[in-house]
A and B are shown apart, each in its own frame.
Chain A
């Protein structure tokens, strides 16, 4: 059973670069059995898919983020990360890291979420 745990800055200023890390346990980040996903949820609002990284290395992003997001994997630490540049107040949200089973078109395993607040 996969377990995921986000870690992040908490509070940021506008125009800074957001860096979030997800530590995975119960499975290998390099396994072909999983895909790794970021989803966010602004306070009081709905869920938004940010992007997915596949074991093959392919990465796909939500077009609405206009190339501000980058997802990567650190196999040595069994972690994957989200970087998002030039943040604004609209990026204030709870960020969830998610595991998706290979060939399963749904999101099985969720981290508890990390609140990131962007404020001057």
Chain B
């Protein structure tokens, strides 16, 4: 059970869009539509941002969107805002009641 692969960092200017990839395998991301994304500010607990690949919890702005193709899931932040600067983690169900997280991506707003 290996960690999902995410880029270490992405950046963009306010108003731009950024996309974070999350690459797994045919045993996790590729076979289950149970990919979730979490936003984490320094010193704080993660917060659910996307679930079931592309669904947003209530209260999460619609500039956050998720998708999946094959073994890779993606989180896109459109209309980037200063408050979006944080770490983002993907997570996938990996079968037999197990879970795997990505290594995390730091989003910087230039």
Contact = CB atoms under 8 A, between A and B. Distances in A.
A111 B97 CA distance: 21
Given A111-B45, A113-B45, A106 B91 contact: yes
Given A47-B89, A106-B91, 8 more contacts: A47-B104, A49-B98, A49-B99, A104-B51, A105-B32, A105-B52, A107-B48, A107-B91
A16 interface: no
B65 interface: no
A95 to B, nearest CB: 11
Contacts of B100: 49
Interface of A: 39, 45-49, 52, 54, 58, 60, 62-64, 96, 104-108, 110-113
Interface of B: 1, 3, 32, 34, 36, 38, 44-48, 51-52, 89, 91, 93, 96-104
A62 B1 contact: yes
Contacts of B101: 39, 46-49
Contact of A46 (B48, B51, B89, B96): B89
Contacts of A96: 45-46
A113 B46 CA distance: 10
A106 B3 CA distance: 17
Contacts of A111: 45
B34 A106 contact: yes
A110 B99 contact: no
Given A49-B98, A49-B100, A110 B52 contact: no
